[in-house]
Structure 1
Amino acid sequence: MIIITGATGFIGSNIVADLNARGRTDLLLVDDLGTQGKWKNIAKRRFLDLVDYRSLDQLLPKLERADAVFHMGANSSTTSTDGDEILHVNLHATMAWWRWCTLHGTPFIYASSAATYGDGAQGFADNQNPDALDKLSPLNLYGWSKHQFDKWAVERAAEGKAPPQWAGLKFFNVYGPNEYHKGDMKSLVAKNTALVARGETIRLFKSHKEGYEDGGQLRDFVYVKDCCNVMMWLLDNPKASGIFNLGTGQARSFVDLVQAIGKALAKPVSIEYIDMPESIRPNYQYFTEARMDKLRQAGFSEKFHSLDEGVADYVQQHLAQPDPFR
């Protein structure tokens, strides 16, 4: 059996799809369905059961074994201000899964985040040295929760109190199928494809920082199918453990992203630049780019989609289809 938490969400449901494609249907899904239509993300999937994540205290004592745990469940809102919920859902629940995997000798692959890097002043190297981790300063509650667990995990591993394999994945700007329920947290590809198709003007932020053109803010956009390829590789390579960045290693601008949508649709793109709200200017990131050498050195050698390739696949094979779900 393989356990996937956050299994009806964006990345989790893509993991379920990839495991089904491998012939694995002995899957225990842990999540809540909510009211945003997340059930559609797993409507075509095969699994053993779907258990509400809020019953974790009752669930874990009943579980005796698993081949692996993919822990993607979290409150992923970067604007959340509910510290108690974040503490419970993002930190304490992850600790509970870690302890269970350690006790039962189960590989543990969990979602960290590039939000742990804060403003990027310390760079984007996935160094898990405690001193290097202590220098990072996340800009929001979500990033803080992920960073605190990364530090906790490194400490436990140093004490020999870790699962036989553990991997914390610092996801950068992930886009792709099954993010449709995420509202304002959807990628700009999901938000703007229909607008480009209708010939409407796309609005991007002006730059308020010297050295960056309007719409020229840079992000490491990574396709969710590549993220899942990495996780399937980790499943097949149990000796690979540690904290790993998960991006492409190539920063691209928001203008590049929107133009890639137009290219995928064979449509011209009209862009209007608007002022960035003053409330977000102080903490706005103008550049993120994953250092990917650590994952490569661990043995992962597959090619990542370029921005144009990933956006084209997402737009043409999913967003432009009557049924966009995998």
Structure 2
Amino acid sequence: MIIVTGGVGFIGSNLVHELNRAGHKDILVVDNLAPAPNLSGPKFLNLEGAEFADYMDKREFREAVKSGAIDGSKVRAILHQGACSNTLEDDGRYMMDNNFTHSKELLHFALEHKIPFVYASTAAVYGASTSFTEIPVNERPLNVYGYSKLVFDNYVRRLIPEIKSTVVGLRYFNVYGQREQHKGRMASVMHHFTKQLKDTGTIRMFEGSGGYANGEQRRDFVFVGDLARINMFFSGLLPGQSGPRDVRAIVNAGTGQARTFKAVAEALMRVHGPGKIEYIPFPGDLKNRYQHFTEADVRGLRAAGYEDSFTTLEQGVEQTFPASQA
């Protein structure tokens, strides 16, 4: 059995579909489908057409892990995508319980049974930094979301010398792709720009900020399909892999090439048709919370053994919005 936490969410559901394409169907999907004010639509639609063996609510799953009700000998890998990923959430106690305590519980279950454990970290740990190598001097989170993820990364770092099985933290950069329609404000700029273009013919982006000119703020945009394959690689689940090799690392999961928001708009217009760009004032509630530039240092990822190339921005936009849906 393969456990995918957060398996109904954006990245988790794409991972389930990618696992299916690789022939894996013995999957336990874990998530929380309770109503939430930050959601703009139902998450369950993300698993339309997916095949999996079982589903558990997050609370039920946590209790089952604590009580020993899950037979670890039957678990092939744990792909831990579940988290509170709302970067504007200010409830630190809630965030730490979801992103730190729950992750610790699951990590120790994996270590006890020597189960490959691949988990979602985030580039938000770098926050105000402009250097993105995985070392403490660069880790300066701007919100409690990034802080909660960094605390868990540091917890893993302290344990690495004692760990005998695979434990890999993936610091996701700016992820985009299909199945993020439910994320509301937290959806990628591809999703927001597309809606604006289709509704009004105009894409709105921020005026110059953080030392960058209008629309020239730059992010490392990474296609969700690439992240699914990275998860599968480190857990030994890619087609043709004989099994996982023990890797213990916290690495960046990004393309290593930052692109401007203007470039995103241009790629979308090639798919959806022409439109205009309008520059709007930078929102006050994002002041001191916003990363104007991100670009993954991928040397750690390559050193850990992942060698595949990444989907380009233009290719990823075309895959996100195929011609039948553009």
Per the normalisation by structure 2, the TM-score is: 0.91
Q: What is the Cα deviation at residue 318 of structure 1?
A: 7.5
Indicate conservation of the 8 Å contact 1:175/1:187, yes or no.
yes
**1:246 maps onto 2:253 in alignment:** yes
Q: Which runs of 5+ in 1 are unaligned?
A: 127-131, 321-326
Alignment of 1:1-326 (within 5 A): 1-35=1-35, 36-60=41-65, 61-65=68-72, 66-121=75-130, 123-126=131-134, 132-133=135-136, 136-158=139-161, 160=162, 162=163, 164-197=165-198, 200-210=201-211, 212-236=212-236, 237-265=244-272, 267-316=273-322, 319-320=325-326
Q: What is the Cα deviation at residue 199 of structure 1?
A: 5.4
RMSD of the TM alignment (CA)? 1.6
Q: What is the Cα deviation at residue 46 of structure 1?
A: 1.3
Which stretch shows the higher mean deviation, 186-195 or 64-73?
Answer: 186-195
Report the 3-state secondary structure (helix = DSSP H, G, I; strand = E; otherwise coil) of the residue aligned with 1:225: helix
- Give the match for residue 324 of structure 1: none
How far apart, CA to CA, are the structure 2 residues paired with 1:62 and 1:247? 36
Q: What is the Cα deviation at residue 240 of structure 1?
A: 2.8
Report the 3-state secondary structure (helix = DSSP H, G, I; strand = E; otherwise coil) of the residue aligned with 1:112: strand
Indicate conservation of the 8 Å contact 1:207/1:216, yes or no.
yes
How far apart, CA to CA, are the structure 2 residues paired with 1:27 and 1:202? 39
Distance verdict in 2 for CA 1:149–1:319, change over 3 Å: farther
Q: Which runs of 5+ in 2 are unaligned?
A: 36-40, 237-243
Q: What is the Cα deviation at residue 224 of structure 1?
A: 0.2
Q: What is the Cα deviation at residue 120 of structure 1?
A: 1.6
Indicate conservation of the 8 Å contact 1:118/1:138, yes or no.
yes
Report the 3-state secondary structure (helix = DSSP H, G, I; strand = E; otherwise coil) of the residue aligned with 1:69: strand
Deviations along 1:105-132, one digit per CA (max 9) or x if unpaired, are 10100000000001124x1012xxxxx3
Q: What is the Cα deviation at residue 33 of structure 1?
A: 2.0
